[in-house]
Amino acid sequence: ACSSKYVLSQMHPMWQGPLAVPGGDRQSPIDIVVRKSIFDSELKPLVTKYDPQTCQQIWNNGYSFLVEYDDTTDKSTLQGGPLQDKFRLCQFHFHWGETNSWGSEHTLDKRLFPAELHLVHWNSDKYSLFEEAVMEDNGLAVIGVFLKVGKRHEGLQKLVDALPAIRHKGSVVEFTRFDPGCLLPSNTEDYWTYHGSLTTPPLTESVTWIIMKQHIEVSHDQLAVFRSLLFTSAEEDVQKSMVNNFRVQQPLRGRAVRSSFT
Ligand code: BO1
Ligand code: ZN
């Protein structure tokens, strides 16, 4: 076994260089092998209480676009499911591919989806800031939702309409009154859960992942607008399309993936 607390992660084309990251035994994303997941009757339905008034801004961070929420109070929270504590929403973002054949970070029996939504929450019962929670075992909870190509998603369209204003890395615009609950599938009772990590630096192993069984549908045109974003800033002379912003799959290393359904 590796005795060092730190391992060198693989070089990632979008990261600045190789990074020393904690652990290595519970990294994300993973392939969910459906027939190996373990039904747990103790897993409760998710309880999301999202206040659209806490929505603040949307920005291009050079890796994805982030919709950020005011997380100074418990106004937008996640409870229940596999969680003992209350978690506060701080942001959501997506990962997607250059075509509809891939783009998700998690996979189901090796099946790829064109995109994946991540709703990021931190434990406000135990910690007072994201920065504190991100270092801790039970610090974060991220909901993952797969996107499939089909009919246009009405809720997503308000977001899509804001994207041309944040085409370049580093651009930010005000974005308010967006209810993140509109991006959840109708059935939030069925999900898989496992212990993992953030999928971009700092890659800390602080995340309870909750992956929804039901996907949401978005149109090809809506995903095309995601792909019109840029990894590059306005100052750079060679523009790079923001596509394939997902991490490669990580080994399960004996972890259990539990399901809330049979
Ligand atoms: S993900 O959901 O595993 N893809 C993921 C990966 C990285 C972060 C969040 C979620 N990073 C952090 C940044 C912080 C920032 C926070 C909330 O997101 O490291 O600086 O405050 O936006
Ligand atoms: Zn993510």
Which ligand 1 atom minimizes the distance to the CA of 197? 3
Kindly report, residue by residue over 114-157, the tens digit of the pLDDT: 999 999 999 999 999 999 999 999 999 999 999 999 999 999 99
CA 208 – ligand 1 centroid, Å? 14
Q: Tell me: pLDDT of 5 over 50.
A: no
Q: Tell me: pLDDT of 21 over 90.
A: no
Helical H segments across the chain, by residue range = 130-133, 154-162, 220-227
Q: Tell me: pLDDT of 1 over 50.
A: no
Q: What is the pLDDT of residue 6?
A: 43
Q: Tell me: pLDDT of 97 over 90.
A: yes
Q: Contact, 213 vs 261, CB < 8 A?
A: yes
- The predicted complex's ipTM stands at 0.95
CA 40 – ligand 2 centroid, Å? 25
Q: Please state, for a pLDDT cut of 90, what percent of the chain lies above it.
A: 91
**Ligand 1 pocket, residues with Cβ under 6 angstroms:** 90-91, 118, 120, 130, 142, 198-200, 202
Q: What is the pLDDT of residue 12?
A: 57
pLDDT (mean) for 49-60:
98
Kindly report, residue by residue over 169-198, the tens digit of the pLDDT: 999 999 999 999 999 999 999 999 999 999
Best probe residue, ligand 1, of 130, 207, 211 (max atoms within 8 Å of C-beta): 130
Protein residue whose Cα sits closest to atom 19 of ligand 1: 202
Q: Tell me: pLDDT of 43 over 90.
A: yes
Strand, helix or coil for residue 110: coil
Best probe residue, ligand 1, of 134, 211, 247 (max atoms within 8 Å of C-beta): 134
CA distance 40 to 53: 35
